[in-house]
């Protein structure tokens, strides 16, 4: 869907850019933000965070595209500017949205802030679940899912809700950097922010903390080095599973009820992973990671293990050897015992 949508709607910003002289458009955004990016002049309710807005795809549309009725006199005219309806531009979402339980229960604005829209690749699993948590209380959800889901607390903490409540056929493993909240030996981990990583990286771009050679591709060796480096002691990679495509259907999927949808070796989607690093604008940038091996290697991602999925081949072999070792004694001894049975039967055994 994402691909098609992008193509289908590319003309929109283009058209808008053509119908306004570029300079005016930029001016307009800046004009509006002159007041609306200033808490003191408009107050918390009407505050628009320019830092975030400027990095959204909506910024290219310009404020006026969605607030068409705003006048030269605003705000002195006392009129409330019009607000665009999302579906006017995003009709493709409607098919799915209208068929979901949320059509009656949650509007676009309940999950999206029009001034902070992000694509799926730009948000963390944590952010995604915040959207849902506004209505679906976290503790209550753990309780409801625990009826059938072992370690529901773990699943819901590590997975975006939409990994299971989605119509997307494919999934992808996404790695994030997390860090200890404090220096205490025994501490909780939180998602690292751009500033944290920038501080550690010093002069270089934060991606170079992992991507040592700067080729924007993360190899197994680079991951291992990252985890072994003492300076990174408080950093870890955390992995989650995300759908590849956004859908607005959240109906309960039968195949998610079946654990082996995820817990089985083989699904292609489990072999590809990306590293998502926070950007200064508060979104995420993704980097391709070496296929497959990452998940299997002990120090590639020491904290990511999915039962039945990411088992290590070398450990399997070692385990098998141990078990075979256990059968050698019975087999060898048993054979000799059989051959020498006469010695004992003479004793009346």
From the list 25, 61, 178, 277, which residue makes contact with ligand HEC (rule: CB under 6 A)? 61
2 lines the binding site for ligand HEC (CB under 6 A): yes
Q: Are 201 and 208 in contact (CB under 8 A)?
A: yes
Q: Report the sign of the C-alpha dihedral through residues 126, 259, 257, 261, in that order.
A: positive
From the list 25, 124, 125, 132, which residue makes contact with ligand HEC (rule: CB under 6 A)? 132
349 lines the binding site for other proteins (CB under 8 A): yes
Q: Within 155-214, which residues bind other proteins (CB under 8 A)?
A: 157, 185-189
For residue 123, how far is the Cα from the chain centroid? 6
Which pairing describes strands 217-218 and 189-191: parallel, antiparallel, or unpaired?
unpaired
- Tokens in use for 3? 């691909």
148 lines the binding site for other proteins (CB under 8 A): yes
Query: What is the widest separation between alpha-carbon atoms in the chain?
Result: 117
Reduced to 3 DSSP states, what percent helix, strand and coil does the chain have, rounded to the nearest 5?
A: 50, 10, 40
87 lines the binding site for ligand HEC (CB under 6 A): yes
Residue placing its CB nearer to other proteins in the complex, 79 or 335 = 335
Q: Within 228-257, which residues bind other proteins (CB under 8 A)?
A: 236
Which pairing describes strands 217-218 and 284-289: parallel, antiparallel, or unpaired?
parallel
* Minimal distance, residue 296 CB to ligand HEC, in Å: 22
Residue placing its CB nearer to ligand HEC in the complex, 13 or 292 = 13
Residue placing its CB nearer to ligand HEC in the complex, 114 or 282 = 114
For residue 177, how far is the Cα from the chain centroid? 11
Q: Are 65 and 13 in contact (CB under 8 A)?
A: no
From the list 25, 124, 125, 131, which residue makes contact with ligand HEC (rule: CB under 6 A)? 131
Q: Residue 229 — φ and ψ, nearest 5°? A: -70, 125
Q: Residue 285 — φ and ψ, nearest 5°? A: -115, 135
162 lines the binding site for ligand HEC (CB under 6 A): yes
42 lines the binding site for ligand HEC (CB under 6 A): yes
Tell me how long the chain is. Answer: 349
- Choices 104-112, 159-167, 272-280, 313-321 (CB under 8 A): range interacting with other proteins: 313-321
- Choices 145-153, 231-239, 270-278, 339-347 (CB under 6 A): range interacting with ligand HEC: 145-153
Q: How many CA atoms lie within 13 A of 150 on its CB side?
A: 4
Q: How many other CB atoms are found less than 10 A from the CB of residue 151?
A: 12
* Minimal distance, residue 280 CB to ligand HEC, in Å: 16
| Distance from C-alpha of 347 to C-alpha of 49, rounded to nearest angstrom | 95
* Minimal distance, residue 239 CB to ligand HEC, in Å: 14
Partner from ligand HEC, other proteins, none binding residue 334, C-beta < 5-8 Å depending on class: other proteins
Residue placing its CB nearer to ligand HEC in the complex, 101 or 195 = 101
* Minimal distance, residue 236 CB to ligand HEC, in Å: 21
Question: How many binding residues for other proteins (CB under 8 A)?
Answer: 53
Q: Burial letters for 79-104: b for 16+ Cβ neighbours within 10 Å, e otherwise?
A: eebeeeebeeeeeebeebbeebebee
DSSP label at residue 212: T
* Minimal distance, residue 231 CB to other proteins, in Å: 17
- Choices 18-26, 55-63, 66-74, 315-323 (CB under 8 A): range interacting with other proteins: 315-323
From the list 128, 235, 237, 275, which residue makes contact with ligand HEC (rule: CB under 6 A)? 128
303 lines the binding site for other proteins (CB under 8 A): yes
């Amino acid at each position: 869907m994402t691909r098609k949508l992008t193509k289908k709607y590319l003309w929109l910003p283009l058209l808008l850019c053509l119908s306004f002289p570029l300079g005016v458009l930029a001016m307009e955004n800046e004009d509006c933000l002159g007041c609306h990016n200033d808490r003191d002049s408009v107050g918390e309710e009407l505050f628009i965070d320019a830092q975030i807005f400027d990095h959204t795809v909506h910024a290219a549309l310009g404020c006026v595209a969605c607030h068409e009725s705003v006048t030269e006199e605003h705000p002195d005219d006392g009129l409330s500017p019009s607000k665009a309806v999302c579906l006017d531009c995003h009709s493709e979402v409607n098919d799915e949205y209208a068929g979901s339980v949320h059509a009656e229960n949650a509007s676009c604005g309940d999950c999206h802030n029009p001034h902070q829209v992000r694509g799926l690749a730009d948000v963390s699993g944590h952010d995604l679940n915040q959207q849902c948590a506004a209505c679906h209380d976290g503790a209550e959800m753990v309780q409801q899912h625990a009826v059938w889901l072992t370690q529901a607390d773990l699943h819901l903490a590590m997975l975006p809700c939409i990994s299971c409540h989605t119509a997307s056929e494919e999934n992808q493993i996404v790695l994030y950097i997390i860090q200890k909240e404090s220096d205490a030996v025994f501490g909780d981990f939180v998602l690292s922010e751009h500033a944290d990583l920038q501080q550690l990286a010093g002069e270089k771009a934060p991606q170079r903390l992992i991507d040592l050679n700067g080729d924007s591709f993360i190899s197994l060796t680079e991951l291992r080095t990252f985890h072994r480096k003492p300076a990174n002691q408080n950093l870890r990679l955390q992995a989650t599973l995300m759908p590849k495509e956004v859908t607005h259907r959240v109906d309960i999927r039968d195949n998610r009820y079946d654990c082996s949808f995820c817990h089985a070796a083989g699904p292609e989607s489990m072999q590809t992973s990306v590293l998502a690093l926070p950007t200064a604008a508060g979104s995420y940038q993704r980097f391709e990671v070496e296929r497959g091996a990452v998940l299997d290697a002990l120090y590639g991602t020491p904290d990511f293990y999915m039962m039945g999925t990411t088992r290590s081949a070398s450990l399997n072999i070692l385990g098998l050897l141990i078990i075979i070792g256990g059968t050698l004694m019975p087999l060898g001894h048993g054979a000799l015992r059989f051959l020498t049975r006469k010695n004992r039967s003479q004793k009346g055994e």
